[in-house]
Structure 1
Amino acid sequence: MVVLLKKCEMVEDEELVEVVEMEVGEVVCDYELGGEDVGVMKGCAVKGVEGDGD
């Protein structure tokens, strides 16, 4: 399982994004959906639609 965090580019504080990543990991573990094996990615759908490779 992979979790995609959207809108990360709108957050100026990188530490806040890291906290959200940790919280998502804990929720996934709580629901027994894969635990440590779950990947968390940061993404932006707008950049994908625009064709921006970054």
Structure 2
Amino acid sequence: MPQTREHILLARQVDVPNLVVFLNKCDLMSGDDEELLELVDMEIRDLLSKYEFDGDNAQIIRGSATKALEDDDGELGL
């Protein structure tokens, strides 16, 4: 997740006070991949904390930008 790390660092450098994280492409994950999503969630929270954001309380939203663009009202289309 080098790009995620870079974005968090840049947000810190320009004094963004809070972040909301959107995990995209969750529609491509099967139901068996919940453990992988939890690991990604934990890694993102650790990165946020490392750069002095409130990683423990950060909003992390799972979804699919494609489904949202297609006006999908399902869980991942938000």
Q: Same fold (TM over 0.5)?
A: yes
Structure 1's consecutive aligned runs of 4 or more residues displaced over 2 angstroms after TM superposition are 33-37
Equivalents in 2 of 1:39, 1:2: separation in Å?
5
Q: Which residue of 2 aligns with 1:52?
A: 72
Q: Please say if 1:16 is aligned against 2:46.
A: no
**Alignment gaps of 5+ in structure 1:** none
Higher strand share: 1
CA deviations on 1:3-44 (whole Å, 9 max, x unpaired) are 000111212211101110111000000011233231111010
Q: Name which structure has the greater RCO, CA cutoff 8 Å, separation 6+.
A: 1
Question: CA RMSD of the aligned region, Å?
Answer: 1.1
Q: TM-score, normalised by structure 1?
A: 0.86
Equivalents in 2 of 1:24, 1:42: separation in Å?
13
Residues paired across the two proteins, number: 54
Q: Which residue of 2 aligns with 1:43?
A: 63
Q: 1:6 aligns with which of 24, 39, 43?
A: 24
**Alignment gaps of 5+ in structure 2:** 1-18
Equivalents in 1 of 2:34, 2:55: separation in Å?
23
